A and B are shown apart, each in its own frame.
Chain A
Amino acid sequence: MNKLRWISLIGVFAMLVFLPYVSVYQNYVAAHAYDLLSPGEQRLYDMVEGITSPFVSDPENDLDAIKGTTWSGQFFGVKLSDPLAVASQVSAGRRLYWPFFVTALIPLFATALFGRFYCGWICPATLLYELNTNLDAWLNRLGLRTGHRHLDRRLKYLVLGVGLLLSMVSGSVWLASIYPPAIVGREIYYSVALGGFGAGAVFFVLTLLFDLLVARRGFCRYLCPGGALYSLLGRYRVVRIRRRVDTCNDCAKCNAVCEFGLDPMRDDFGQECNNCTACMAVCPTDALRFTLKVRDREFQGPGHLGHRYRRQQPESENTACVVAAS
């Protein structure tokens, strides 16, 4: 499952890199002037044509099927938007535009089902952040100290609320400039098609440094407004991970691997879990499984395969014997 998730993340990211080239290629096709292109441009033309020609007959129009980014885009004629985009447009423009709201319905529905899965399975920034976490581990192995502070997880709800309020006051969708997936998609397009990164790239590099120097996955955990919105929407998600106490051995590998600093070993998933399945992949006894329930279980006590549980069992028997003897 975790491998599948990496494939999904890489696929989305590769798509975001490929689409700007497709867009540039369409420009060249529309210009009908292959001979006037520079050798580099001709190479790009040939490459994209080689990849896409089996699928389309009229590249100028047919390739419009997939456009845009994960922030808002078109997928085979269906327009999809991030719920945060709708929320900030509503607060900044102070009106609900139904055709735009409808584009967020599929993500809203999927979030109600799978919770914050966008953060773990689709978000193009997550790929870079998780690679950043790997870099963090490498640096630690080299002996360099990186930041592992813990902030309050509720900070991101504050960022979301203040962000929406500020966009209402200022009349500008400025959450779009601090929301990493929107930044990543946009900056890839800018750098490929418009010849240079924008200011968002600087902000994104700063968030990477924040993750490295202050808190592991700090931006997603503590600051991301989109993550906050998805957490709220996915609070009563139907598909969630559940720990089976009879096979758990309390090894705490799940807690160590959880990118969001949750506590799967003590049944504490909460609304922040993004169903990324990293804990399921690392679990040696296969004690973490998907279930269809809208609430987490209360703490079920130590796992039945664990040392603590085994230690507790004889102790209680001993005391029972002592009581019987007296």
Chain B
Amino acid sequence: MRRRSFLNRVGSWFALLATASLPYGMLRLLAPEPEAASLSGSKFGRLRGLLRPPGAIADEASFIANCIGCGACGEVCPVRCIRFHSRAGGAATNTPYIDPLQRACILCGKCMDICPTPALSPTARRDIDMGIAQINRDACYPWVDHGVCGACATVCPLGESAIGFAFANMYRPVVKTGCVGCGLCVEVCPHPSVPIRVVARDSNRSRPSRPDIAHAA
């Protein structure tokens, strides 16, 4: 009988400990992720430079409505650039994103092929629209005459049609309309402030709103 009451006590202490540690675990799990934007999925996500995988429905709300969060796109991605809003994100929970500052898309197209839903649909490489690169000419090394670079133009998988060099200086990169926004240039940019970013393509605006930021030609 003594043993039973002892076991009882041990069991209840264990249960109490488990219940007491649960709030801590929940807080740990629900804490915002340090590197990824917790607000992404909304328009803030686009502002913070998070991209949807290639072939995604352009309309953000429609993308969220059609993605079932199965995670297959992330599982087939050979460079594991596709990550998921796993701990926060509201309606966009479990939807995939790409943070080009960490790892950029190589446009292999496996995610578009495996996605069962209309969220990602197979798209020809040149028709992909994840956004368009934008160069801040106030920081980019060649643009402020701090040496030669050209890393972004070298790594670009689409070559001449997406990014080229300014006529006057052979090393000043200029984004062209062929850019699909894969973000490889963002990943390789050696400047600490990363003056090249992928932003949402704006078809209505032909001229840059800020003259100091180069827009697509």
Instruction: Report the nearest B residue to A167, measured CB to CB.
Output: B65
For residue B45, CB closer than 8 A to chain A, the reply is: no
For residue A7, CB closer than 8 A to chain B, the reply is: no
Given the interface pairs A23-B75, A27-B80, A142-B11, the reply to whether A170 lies near B68 with Cβ below 8 Å is no
| CB-contacts of A179-222 with B (<8 A) | 182, 185-186, 189-190, 193-194, 196-202, 205, 209
For residue A172, CB closer than 8 A to chain B, the reply is: yes
| CB-contacts of A113-142 with B (<8 A) | 139, 142
- A172 near B86: Cβ-Cβ < 8 Å: no
**Cα A299 to Cα B197 with chains together (Å):** 70
Least distance between A227 CB and chain B CB atoms (Å): 18
For residue B54, CB closer than 8 A to chain A, the reply is: no
Contacts of A174 in B (CB 8 A): 91, 93
Contacts of A270 in B (CB 8 A): none
Contacts of A89 in B (CB 8 A): 65-66, 68, 117
- B29 near A171: Cβ-Cβ < 8 Å: no
For residue A153, CB closer than 8 A to chain B, the reply is: no
**Cα A60 to Cα B106 with chains together (Å):** 15
For residue B177, CB closer than 8 A to chain A, the reply is: no
Given the interface pairs A23-B75, A171-B91, A189-B75, the reply to whether A100 lies near B118 with Cβ below 8 Å is yes
Least distance between A74 CB and chain B CB atoms (Å): 6
Given the interface pairs A174-B93, A190-B86, A202-B25, the reply to whether A97 lies near B117 with Cβ below 8 Å is yes
Instruction: Report the nearest A residue to B4, measured CB to CB.
Output: A143
Contacts of B61 in A (CB 8 A): 171
Task: Give the number of residues in B that approach A within 8 Å (Cβ atoms).
Answer: 42
- B68 near A173: Cβ-Cβ < 8 Å: yes
Least distance between B11 CB and chain A CB atoms (Å): 5
Contacts of A67 in B (CB 8 A): 72, 75-76, 114
**Cα A185 to Cα B116 with chains together (Å):** 16
- B79 near A30: Cβ-Cβ < 8 Å: yes
Contacts of B92 in A (CB 8 A): 172
For residue B144, CB closer than 8 A to chain A, the reply is: no
Contacts of B87 in A (CB 8 A): 198-199
Give B75-95 as 1s and 0s: 1 = Cβ < 8 Å from A's Cβ atoms.
110111001101110011110
For residue B67, CB closer than 8 A to chain A, the reply is: yes
- A69 near B70: Cβ-Cβ < 8 Å: yes
**Cα A64 to Cα B108 with chains together (Å):** 14
- B30 near A182: Cβ-Cβ < 8 Å: no
- B71 near A100: Cβ-Cβ < 8 Å: no
- B75 near A19: Cβ-Cβ < 8 Å: yes
Query: Which one of A68, A79, A97, A193 contacts B118 once the chains associate, using CB atoms below 8 Å?
Result: A97
- A201 near B68: Cβ-Cβ < 8 Å: no
For residue B169, CB closer than 8 A to chain A, the reply is: no
For residue A85, CB closer than 8 A to chain B, the reply is: yes
Query: Which one of B7, B70, B83, B110 contacts A68 once the chains associate, using CB atoms below 8 Å?
Result: B70
| CB-contacts of B3-40 with A (<8 A) | 4, 7-8, 11-12, 15, 22, 25-26, 29-30
For residue A176, CB closer than 8 A to chain B, the reply is: yes
Query: Which one of A26, A142, A167, A189 contacts B71 once the chains associate, using CB atoms below 8 Å?
Result: A189
Contacts of A198 in B (CB 8 A): 29, 84, 86-87, 94
Least distance between B182 CB and chain A CB atoms (Å): 16
Query: Which one of B12, B65, B118 contacts A171 once the chains associate, using CB atoms below 8 Å?
Result: B65
- B68 near A185: Cβ-Cβ < 8 Å: no
- A170 near B116: Cβ-Cβ < 8 Å: no
